[in-house]
Structures are given as C-alpha cells and as structure tokens.
Structure 1
Amino acid sequence: MSNPTVKYARNGALASLGLYFVVTMVVLAVSFGYERGRIGASPADASMSFYQQLSQSIPVLLASKKKTG
C-alpha cells in the first residue's frame, strides 16, 4: 500500500471509531436520562418497559387524531 492509501485507510478507521463513540454516548445519555426520569413514577408505571409503554401509547394517539380530524 502506498503512503496516501495508508493515510486514507487510517483516517477512515479513526472517523468511524469517532462516529461510533459519539452515537454510543448519545444513546447511553438518553437511556440513563430515561431511567432517572422514571424514579418518581408510580410502581405500576415503573414495572412497564419503555417498549410496553410505547406500544400502548401509539394506538391511543392514533385514535385521538382520528376522532379530532
């Protein structure tokens, strides 16, 4: 491999690692913020996972949009 090819590969690898690190930190920050917000929730709400709450709230939101429209 020539010298510019090595630099190009190295810079691409470093850029992909940096992008992975940034995305991972954002996902971790959001997930920790979500768990911290649930501390004050009632026990019934705290026992439900995020996806269970989401799957219950989406049909309600869609139904409310249909009624007002």
Structure 2
Amino acid sequence: MAGGAVSVVLGVLVVFLWHSPIVEATGVPELAGYVVFRGVEAALVWGGAWLCVRGWNGGPVPAEG
C-alpha cells in the first residue's frame, strides 16, 4: 500500500504542480510533451490506486495447486 500511496502522490504532484515546468524543461514539442507526460501521470495515478487496493485486499493470493 505504501508504494501505491507514493505513486499516487507523485502522480498528483506531476499533474498539478510540475507538468508545465517539466514540458518546458525537456524542450520537446508542446503537443508531444503534453500527450506523453499526461500518459505518465495517468499511469502513476492508476497504478498507485491499483497497488493500494491490492495491498488493502491482502496482497497477491497464492496459487492453489
């Protein structure tokens, strides 16, 4: 759950605080920067939420066999 929470926090920071400065600092074209960085932000938030839920539910379930 901790890894998921860190991922969500980083995703939110990138989305709300650092998006424009990162796009400007990298020097990539604006459209490409916005598309790529928005995809990374979505992955961080979605993946972090998934990790939080997985941790809340007890982690990976061992395979029965």
TM-score of the superposition, structure 1-length normalised? 0.45
Q: Name which structure has the greater RCO, CA cutoff 8 Å, separation 6+.
A: 2
